[in-house]
Amino acid sequence: MLDLAPLIGHWGYAAIFLVVFLGNVGLPIPEETILSLSGYLVWRGELRLPMVVAVGVISAAAGDNLGYWLGRAYGRQAIERYGYRVLVTPERLESVWRFVTRHGSLGVFAARFIPGVRFMAGPLAGAAGIPPARFVLANLLGAAIYVPYAVGIGYAIGYGLGAYVERIHRVEYLVLIAAALVAAALFGRRALGAIRGRPKGRA
């Protein structure tokens, strides 16, 4: 498993920007991990909260916007060919495609909180022809809410369990990553279930 703490320690906010940006362009990188770890490092006093949130929001929005324009320029067929290279099954791709096309900008916003859907939402929204203004607004709002949420998970772990975690050599990163992934997965599953449970006439 990649130890992200030395990466942040060496590159600082640039590491946060790079990982989050790539995770939103269309690469299956769990950016919630580095955001949560950044929140934990904020609690430790190694990073500044306003900078972490600002860098996270900017990189998330910029990455998704680039993914959107790539999808808009090259279409779904190119995404399908690319999907095989990043281990995205045709069934998962079709599921996210239906989710984004059915819910439009709301789907773009909700996808931000759903692991396994987030990194495909931008390119597929572009390929689906969602208007740029609607995408940019939904994308920016999603990033503005999601990034503080993910950073807050790490900070909360430090605040609640930091004294205990600091006594465990390197295990704190595994605990942090596991907690972040579980929390994000539960939140995303509930959000997706709520959206799918709506009557079709109310989408």
Q: What is the pLDDT of residue 61?
A: 92
pLDDT digits (tens, 9 = 90+) for 87-111: 567 777 788 888 888 888 888 888 8
Q: What is the pLDDT of residue 203?
A: 40
pLDDT digits (tens, 9 = 90+) for 121-147: 888 888 888 999 999 999 999 999 999
Q: What is the pLDDT of residue 1?
A: 39
| Residues in contact with 122: Cβ distance below 8 Å, sequence separation at least 6, in sequence order | 24, 25, 26, 63, 64, 65, 66, 67, 68, 71, 108, 135, 139
pLDDT digits (tens, 9 = 90+) for 53-73: 999 999 999 999 998 998 888
Q: What is the pLDDT of residue 179?
A: 56
CB-CB contact of 74 with 84 (8 Å): no
CB-CB contact of 61 with 143 (8 Å): yes
Q: Which of 12-16, 112-116, 187-191 has the highest mean pLDDT?
A: 12-16
More confident residue, 32 or 185: 32
Least trusted range by pLDDT, from 27-31, 159-163, 199-203:
199-203
Q: Where are the domains of the chain?
A: 4-202
Q: What is the pLDDT of residue 201?
A: 44
Report residue 200's pLDDT band, with 50, 70 and 90 as the boundaries: very low
Report residue 202's pLDDT band, with 50, 70 and 90 as the boundaries: very low
CB-CB contact of 128 with 100 (8 Å): yes
Share of the chain above pLDDT 90, in %: 21
Residue 112 above 90 pLDDT? no
State how far the Cα of 10 lies from the Cα of 110, in Å rounded to an integer: 33
Residue 171 above 80 pLDDT? no
